[in-house]
Chains A and B, each alone.
Chain A
């Protein structure tokens, strides 16, 4: 079972997201970075599948050199191969990203054989484009379902569970297939000390790819209007209970 997971490095902002003066980027001066939560779960899902069925997990990212940090994080929890598609400067748009990722995958598969599964996040945390995975899957000619909250493999078929308003839907895709994973499918493990040490030794393969820009262009980021609240402090400590219940009565939620 050879599984590829596509992850993206994104800033991890706290109470608010600040943007640079020119409005072109999130101001990351004081921020750490992470991979999108959905993709963190995709890495965990891949590692669990390999633990069960054998094989190996490869992680791939398209981003600047610093994204090696996220590849190593994935390696520290079980990925054994890591691929960086290096780019410089601003993020690439979804079409360009998908076309570069699918070219990189084709190159990897030519060298090492087909990935049985390629996992993506349901959507990236920052651009929320909901499309890179679908585009890459269509380019590779593989079936794709997004939003997976459960993946099981048996007899060359991936059974996917996804949530809907009415309950759950089950999909069955023949391998090789692509799947977009949602947070909640599992609880990602923390790296062990041994994992951390091993991740330092993983060789990061660089695959340079050029691709043309697509037709969606960012002009500027902006912050949504912020809610200004004149917070009413109902009290301090347990003595505030009475004021809280008065409020619940007033709002009609205490019956």
Chain B
């Protein structure tokens, strides 16, 4: 009996999402009066046990197999499934990340159990035995669902950034389990990698200047590029823009694009559809530049300029240059 957290790591480096999952797992374990346990996949993650111990796991199950060197969704799913069979947890929590969802889905499929992804809250009256009620994010977070998970073992992922990591050190037992993996799960390992060239990305930029359909063409993004450059920021866009082929999808903000959290988001000629908004709403400040005072983005933003972006954006760049004496 336990709450088991699947620790996500990349070749031995723990991902930040794991700490939130461990913290949520510890809270839930306390609620149902059981222990927090964790599972790591691959011997290259053995060294993480100290860090996991700092978050209150009383046991770390270390799944070992010679093939477990890099990430592979099927081998990881099968490994975790074997740990679950052996340790019979009441709840299994994975990270609400690409790998996290994929591994929990694999575990669910292999154990024929239901799974609830992107949970943001668990029912405070859950006793460990009854069905688990939770709130989970749907529509990329535009909508929430109250749901009930009825299963002997409850499989969930925790939506990323919903629980602040808090340490609570405890002595930890190590339980090595030599998992058995057959050829069927060996195909999907990472075979090669291409490292990103360093630089600001949409996800981490302090300033994002985004354009929507109102920009009108690929060329008309020039003034937005210029403004972003002056502010040490980066250009983003809406799906209307990527659909028109004006910019690459890597620039798209939203449900099916990137989620951003800059100090300021400058949204030019973007209406603020809900699927765009969910990607931008974590921004610390939002400035909308739009001809339509009633546009959704204008009513939701902290600041707005009403006007034609083709005139307003160059005027802002000009004013910046003027104050810098350029």
Contacts and interface: CB of A to CB of B under 8 A. Distances in A.
Interface stretch (B35-43, B83-91, B137-145, B173-181): B137-145
A129 to B, nearest CB: 6
Interface string B242-257: 1101001110100111
Contacts of B105: 130-131, 134-135, 146
A32 interface: no
A165 to B, nearest CB: 8
A171 B239 contact: no
Contacts of A16: 274, 296
A165 B95 CA distance: 15
Interface stretch (B48-56, B58-66, B303-311): B303-311
B184 to A, nearest CB: 7
Interface stretch (A53-61, A105-113, A203-211, A230-238): A230-238
Contacts of A252: 263
A215 interface: yes
Contact of A169 (B187, B190, B287): B190
Nearest to A230: B302
A229 B147 contact: no
Interface in A126-143: 126-131, 134-135, 137-139, 141, 143
Given A15-B271, A146-B98, A241-B315, A235 B300 contact: no
A171 B117 contact: no
Given A95-B114, A168-B193, A245-B323, A187 B146 contact: no
Contacts of A245: 316, 319-320, 323
B149 interface: yes
A184 B299 contact: no
Contacts of A251: 263-264, 284-285
A135 B110 CA distance: 8
B212 interface: no
Contacts of A126: 138-139
Interface string A222-250: 11100101011111111111111101100
Contacts of B311: 237-238
Contacts of B114: 93-95, 214-216
Contact of A170 (B133, B191, B231, B284): B191
B316 A241 contact: yes
A172 B255 CA distance: 28
Interface residues of A, number: 84
B79 interface: no
Interface of B: 10, 15, 71, 73-74, 98, 101-102, 104-106, 108-110, 112-118, 133, 135, 137-151, 157, 184, 187-196, 206-207, 231-232, 239, 242-243, 245, 248-250, 252, 255-257, 263-264, 271-275, 281, 284-285, 287-288, 293, 296, 298-308, 311-312, 314-316, 318-320, 323
Closest 5 CB pairs of A and B: A184-B249, A215-B114, A238-B315, A138-B109, A130-B101
Interface of A: 13-17, 19, 26, 37-38, 93-95, 98, 123, 125-131, 134-135, 137-139, 141, 143-147, 162, 164-174, 177, 182-184, 187, 214-224, 227, 229, 231-245, 247-248, 251-255
28 contacts: A15-B296, A16-B296, A17-B142, A17-B274, A95-B112, A125-B140, A129-B117, A130-B102, A143-B187, A167-B196, A170-B194, A216-B114, A218-B146, A218-B147, A221-B138, A222-B135, A222-B144, A224-B141, A231-B288, A231-B299, A231-B302, A233-B305, A236-B307, A240-B305, A240-B315, A241-B319, A245-B323, A251-B263
